[in-house]
Structure 1
Amino acid sequence: MIKKCMKLAACLLPALFFVGCAHRQAQPYDYTAFKAAQPKSIVVLPPLNNSPEVKATYGMLSQLSYPLAEAGYYVLPVAAVDETFKQNGLSNAADIHNVSVQKLREIFGADAGLYVTVTRYGSVYTLLNSEVVVAAEAKLVDLKTGTLLWKGQASASSAEQNNNNGGGGLIGALVAAAVKQIINSNTDAAYPMAGVTSSRMLSAGGSNGILYGPRSTNYGKP
């Protein structure tokens, strides 16, 4: 009886392994609309801020152009776009996101618009440590038709880079935590993490990531 159970387990384990892998594997993104639209230029809208940190919108906005440009797209200068919105009485990201795609196309002439929402931005404090986290979601929309071309999300944390050597004992840890909290509260410590998040979210060539644009030598590749 024991031998039969062992044989059964030996047969089931590989099957369970492959089922687990299949469950964890992300579904391939459907790029049909993206490939049909073939956007060449992108206007980046000021991100919506769903975090309590007031710096989040512009901290993230300043980091979004680089990965898109590296992916092969012409990105309208975000400072000029932001100023254009302000001159037209739009200074709130929520109001800007509600502008029709036809109007955005008319004003900026871009092929697509990038809509970003910041879900986390800033420091999370504990007794012995503090962690800086930035998370965001993005979607790329065809400004000619309003069709969703792509969507994705990413996050980054300073904890990924922390090396806790345990030196100094409890007192040392408390002092280090206090110093870190003071530094984080007086500077935009999340700004570098926003850059990492933006790069992870908008760099081309990754799994289910944005496609390469026409200015890239990899244009046309997955």
Structure 2
Amino acid sequence: MLNFSFLKCVPVLVLAALLAACAGPQKQTTDYTAFKSAKPKSILVLPPLNETADVNATNGMLSQMTMPLAESGYYVLPVAEVAETFRQNGMTMPADIQATSPKKLREIFGADAALYTKVTQYGAVYQVVDANTIVAASARLVSLDSGDVLWQGAASANGKELGNVDFGGGSLVGMLVQAAVKQVAHSLSDESQKVAGLTSQKLLSAGPPNGLLYGPHSPKYGSD
């Protein structure tokens, strides 16, 4: 008589194979086809849109974005000079600046690509028995020659990632008071700008899995 007992193991083996496949390395999700074709060398950083209640979000984020782009191998147009050029042309609002056509930006600044950023969270957040500083933003890199989106991404960071020490234990009332004091301290020390720097590093640094491609001034240019 034929023994079919081995068939009982088949579903288990199939399930194990599926689980192994899911646990394996995930494929890259970003399409770099347009990025590789455009090969941008210079980037114009536009003032970020502010979708938060903090009026400092735009400038706080903008001041931290040049460094990671430069470290990734790109020439970044000086943000102060760019802001002054817009101001002399009667444009000071980020929404109006970002609404300018890529062709016009290319004519004025001569950059290869522009970075459009949106700040979605910025500042101290009260969390009942704790307080933290959170900065979240998204960005897209657009070719000023073709108008194509070359890359897009999002990132967030918080004050605890800066190495801050959390308040210890104690009574619930004491923890609530400490949390309130901590929130004020965050605001007074402008911790948001430091966290914005960390968010910018996460968002705009080149490298896998979904970061920018390395620019022409990076020793890793073309390796990705």
TM-score w.r.t. the length of structure 2 is 0.88
Q: What is residue 56 of structure 1 aligned with on the other side?
A: 57
Q: What is residue 211 of structure 1 aligned with on the other side?
A: 213
Q: What is residue 179 of structure 1 aligned with on the other side?
A: 181
Instruction: Establish whether residue 84 from structure 1 lines up as the match of residue 95 from structure 2.
Output: no
Structure 1 residue 100: Cα displacement: 0.6
Which whole-Å CA distance do the structure 1 matches of 2:176 and 2:153 have between them? Answer: 38
What SS does structure 2 have at the residue aligned with 1:99? coil
What percentage of aligned pairs have identical amino acids?
Answer: 54
Q: What is residue 29 of structure 1 aligned with on the other side?
A: 30
Instruction: Establish whether residue 166 from structure 1 lines up as the match of residue 168 from structure 2.
Output: yes
1:107-141 deviation per Cα after TM superposition (whole angstroms, max 9, x unaligned)? 10101101101111112112211111111111111
Q: What is residue 114 of structure 1 aligned with on the other side?
A: 115
Relative to 1, partners in 2 of residues 1:11 and 1:120: Cα closer, same or farther, differing over 3 Å? same
TM-score w.r.t. the length of structure 1 is 0.89
Q: Select between 98-107 and 161-170 the one with higher mean Cα deviation.
A: 161-170
Which whole-Å CA distance do the structure 2 matches of 1:90 and 1:165 have between them? Answer: 45
Which whole-Å CA distance do the structure 2 matches of 1:81 and 1:169 have between them? Answer: 52
Q: What is residue 156 of structure 1 aligned with on the other side?
A: 157
Instruction: Establish whether residue 71 from structure 1 lines up as the match of residue 52 from structure 2.
Output: no
5+ unaligned residues in a row in structure 1: which ranges? none
Instruction: Establish whether residue 189 from structure 1 lines up as the match of residue 222 from structure 2.
Output: no
Structure 1 residue 168: Cα displacement: 3.7
Which whole-Å CA distance do the structure 1 matches of 2:124 and 2:177 have between them? Answer: 17
Relative to 1, partners in 2 of residues 1:188 and 1:26: Cα closer, same or farther, differing over 3 Å? farther
1:159-198 deviation per Cα after TM superposition (whole angstroms, max 9, x unaligned)? 4445546344434423321221221333422111111110
Question: What is the RMSD computed on CA atoms of the aligned residues?
Answer: 2.4
Aligned length: 219
5+ unaligned residues in a row in structure 2: which ranges? none
Which whole-Å CA distance do the structure 1 matches of 2:191 and 2:164 have between them? Answer: 14
